[in-house]
Amino acid sequence: MIPFIQTTLDGVMVGSSYGLLALGFALIFGVMRRLNLSYGPSIMVGAYLGTLLYIQFGAPTYVVAIVAVAGSVMAGVYVERLCFAPLGVGAGVASMVSSFAIWMQLEQASLLMLPRHSYPFPSLTSGELLSVGPLVVRPDYLIMLAAMLAITAALHLLLYRTRFGLGLRAIIENSVAASLSGIDVRSTMLKAFALASAIGGVAGFLVLSANQQVTAMLGMWATLKGLIAMMIGGLGSIPGAIVGGLVLGVIEVHSQTLFGPQVRDLAAYGVLFVLLVLRPGGIFGTAAVSESAAHRGGDRWTTT
Amino acid sequence: MDDHLTGILSNIGVISFVALSAYLLLLTGEISFGQQAFFAIGAYTAGIVTAMWQLPFWLGLGAGAAAGGAAALFVGLPTLRLHGLQFAIATLAFAEAVRILFELFRYQVVRAGEPVGPNGIEGFRNIRYIFEHDVSATQFMLIIYGLLGMTLFGFFLLERSRLGVAFRMIGQDGLLAAAQGVPVFRVKLMAACLAGAIAGLGGGLYAHLTTYVEPAIFDVMLGVHSLAYGLIGGLGTAFGPLLGVVIDIGLLESTRWFAGYRMIVFGGLVAVLLIVRPRGLLDERLVHRIRRLVSRRPPPAPTNAAVLGEEPS
């Protein structure tokens, strides 16, 4: 029983990083109803800028953290300006492909900055394990879990207690009506995009400092994990992102312990596929998402 | 013709099959991130048939296409009831699962003292039918373009058939198409099946062109690229995705003008292009104009919305 609980606990810890990634994804999707494939590569740009400072000048960890988040936000704003703002509301496909094009740009730019496959990344903790009774946890994953909960709480306050949040929710509900009632839709969307990229930057920094290295796979890894976690939880839902991330983490770690590392990803994709077929809206029901999508004139993905 | 050029042209030809496969689904309005899976299935199937079972090349290609189509039918049945993003992600999940399964797939026989066959993550080496049967690189290129030409001719016939019209109707508005009596699900399933077979055929050619396939080739990047080709080249005609492939592989990958910056140039090009022409270079409007010029018939003046599928603003 103890090994099972330990594995589940490890899964929750890993899952908190997926949950963090999915939060940023869900925020962008929730507001825009469009998929930003460049989400992971934006995080990568920030992380690589931070790593560059760390390697070249031995920058302290907090500087690396700030640069990672700032770089991610900058890249995110670039993506929004180039792929999302100029293309109209109906151009879901074009935006997505365009964000994929920028993915390639950002990834290559990062690799021009630091060409090797992997680089060291500063760690937040000394790497000692904490033991709680018979169980052990890694402190850097505890930080990740705490960060996820804190960011979720902050996001909740922002969405339900501020004018900006009100505007954002109005846009999610109906962007035309929101614009008619005097909300600056474009600038709110840009801010939401920057916020999501910042959350992604934090997630990227925490994951890398737990791994103590950064690799060239970061961009694709972050996009895929964030996307899967968001799809499992429910499109564009904030609590869904958290739950989806944790579920994904637990499934992955359990299947890895049972069947080995290759089956880990296979299980994740298998669960995603089955879930999509049986329950397309994700764990956190379809009602909210599909209803608001219906108000917008159906699924915009099918029309360009 | 020198070897380098032959290699590039053959490569363009083979990748065009995946691009056409993604394009066919785009016509029905569905985005698939997973066409590379059928490409992979076709490649492995054709390789197994010729290199391991020592059966003729054409049989291998046919088996590859059939396997691609069958797999697409199998995936299409549960997923085609999904829409838009959910369908895109379901195909992505399927394709990645297929890639990992190929990483685990081991099936080898001994031929001429050497083990031949898929060997997990190491890949599938020595698909040497082309060399063993003295087919030159140029001849093989002609085979590729012959099959590509036939596929394009198929698309040409399709665009003029009721089925092709049904594809585009569903792509414009599925509900409206259903109201007009189009069996939406069946037609979509047929599109997916055809698309899978085209990708499988391309995969078989690819395996014999490179003599070597490994699971890592068939990752998400290939799938999203093939989707992007159609969107850059244009959704108005089957030449659109081909133009996309030529721009990417012919201009950027094969010349050394942009060494190290290829992705930055290509990425920027696509992003800007999509702002200017959201439905690609050869979009419906341009294709319609060209057709009008060619046929020289005074056409009924089409309204914008009817021809372009542009949303009324």
DSSP secondary structure string for all residues of B169-212: HHHH-HHHHHHTT--HHHHHHHHHHHHHHHHHHHHHHHHHHHS-
Contact A155, A23 (CB under 8 A): yes
User: What percentage of chain A has pLDDT greater than the value 70?
Assistant: 92
Identify whether A131 is part of a domain: no
* Cβ–Cβ under 8 Å, residues A65 and A205: yes
B240, two tokens: 């659109």
Inter-axis angle of helices B84-104 and A218-233, nearest 10? 120
Please tell me which of the candidates B31, B96, B267 has its beta carbon nearest to residue A93.
B31
The domain in which residue A264 lies consists of 2-122+137-298
Give the pair of three-digit tokens for residue B93: 């999940």
Contacts (Cβ under 8 Å, ≥6 apart) of B1? B138
> What is the average per-residue pLDDT within B62-67?
96
Number of domain units in chain A: 1
By CB atoms closer than 10 A (0-12, 13-18, 19+), residue A29 is: buried
Render pLDDT for A103-159 as a digit per residue (tens, 0 to 9). 989 999 999 999 888 899 988 887 778 888 788 888 888 899 999 999 999 999 998
The distance of A135 to chain B (nearest Cα, Å) reads 32
> pLDDT tens, B128-140?
888 888 888 889 9
B285 within domain boundaries: no
Q: Is residue A303 part of a domain?
A: no
Number of A to B CB contacts under 8 A, please give it.
135
Which residues from A are below 8 Å from B266, CB to CB? 101, 104
| B290 vs A: CB within 8 A | no
Going by their DSSP bridges, the two strands B109-111 and B114-116 should be labelled as antiparallel
Please check whether residue A72 lies inside any domain of the structure. yes
Domain that holds residue B94: 3-219
Q: Which residues of A touch B97 (CB under 8 A)?
A: 266, 269-270, 273
List Cα–Cα distances, A58 to A31, A54, B140, B148, in angstroms. Answer: 39, 4, 55, 55
B231 vs A97: CB contact, 8 Å cut-off? Answer: yes
- Residue whose tokens read 């029905």: B28
Nearest Cα neighbor of A178 from A89, A270, A265, A282 is A89
Specify if A272 maps to a domain.
yes
Q: What is the pLDDT of residue B129?
A: 82
Subunit contact B275:A88, Cβ cutoff 8 A: no
What is the spatial distance between Cα B89 and Cα A285, in angstroms, rounded to a whole number? Answer: 17
Most B-contacting residue of A276, A290, A296 (CB-CB within 10 A), to test interface: A276
**End-to-end CA, chain A:** 53
pLDDT tier for residue B304 given thresholds of 50, 70 and 90: low
ipTM (interface pTM)? 0.84
Of all residues in chain A, the one with the smallest CA distance to B228 is A97
Write the CA distances from A150 to A15, A153, A261, B4, B112, integer angstroms. 15, 5, 31, 57, 64
Q: How many domains does chain B have?
A: 1
CA distances from A72 to A106, A184, A197, A211 (A): 11, 24, 6, 19
A145 in B contact zone (CB under 8 Å): no
Q: What is the pLDDT of residue A226?
A: 92
| pTM reported for the whole predicted model | 0.86
pLDDT at B112: 75
Would you say residue B261 lies in a domain?
no
What lies within 8 Å, CB to CB, of A159 at 6+ separation is A165, A168, A169, A238
- Nearest C-alpha of chain B: how many angstroms from A219? 12
In a domain, B298, yes or no: no
Q: Where are the beta strands (DSSP E) in B44-180?
A: 109-111, 114-116
| Better-predicted residue by pLDDT, A13 or B235 | A13
**Token output for B151:** 């596929």
Query: How close is the nearest chain A Cα to the Cα of B143, in Å?
Result: 32
Tokens of A116: 């090797």
Instruction: Count how many Cα atoms sit within 13 Å of the Cα of residue B2 in the half-sphere of its side chain.
Output: 2
Chain A closest-CA separation from residue B313 CA (Å): 10
Contact A86 B275 (CB under 8 A): yes
- Tell me if A277 and B78 make a contact (CB, 8 A cut-off): yes
- Verify whether the Cβ–Cβ distance B90 to A97 is below 8 Å: no
For A289, what's the count of Cα atoms within 13 Å in the CB-facing half-sphere? 29
- Residue A132 forms part of a structural domain: no
The residue count of chain A comes to 304
Q: Which among B94, B228, B260 has CB closest to A100?
A: B228
Q: What residues 29-48 of chain B have any CB closer than 8 A to a CB of chain A?
A: 29-31
**E strands within A107-265?**
118-120, 130-132, 135-137, 213-215
Structure confidence at residue A304 (pLDDT)? 29
Over residues B14-45, the pLDDT tens digits come to 999 999 999 999 899 888 989 999 999 999 99
| In a domain? residue A29 | yes
> Are A205 and A20 in contact, with CB atoms under 8 Å apart?
no
Residues 6+ apart with CB under 8 A from B27: B167, B168, B171, B191, B235
Whether the pLDDT of residue B80 is over 60: the answer is: yes
Of A91, A220, A231, the CB nearest to B278: A91
Domain CATH for A76: 1.10.3470
Judged by a CB distance cut-off of 8 A, whether residue A109 touches chain B is: yes
A178 inside domain: yes
Is residue A103 within 8 angstroms of chain B, CB to CB?
yes
All residue ranges of chain A with pLDDT < 70 are 88-91, 285-304
Q: Which of residues 108-167 of B touch A (CB under 8 A)?
A: none
Residue B83 pLDDT > 90: no
CB pair distance less than 8 Å for B97 and A37: no
B307 interfacial to chain A (CB closer than 8 Å): no
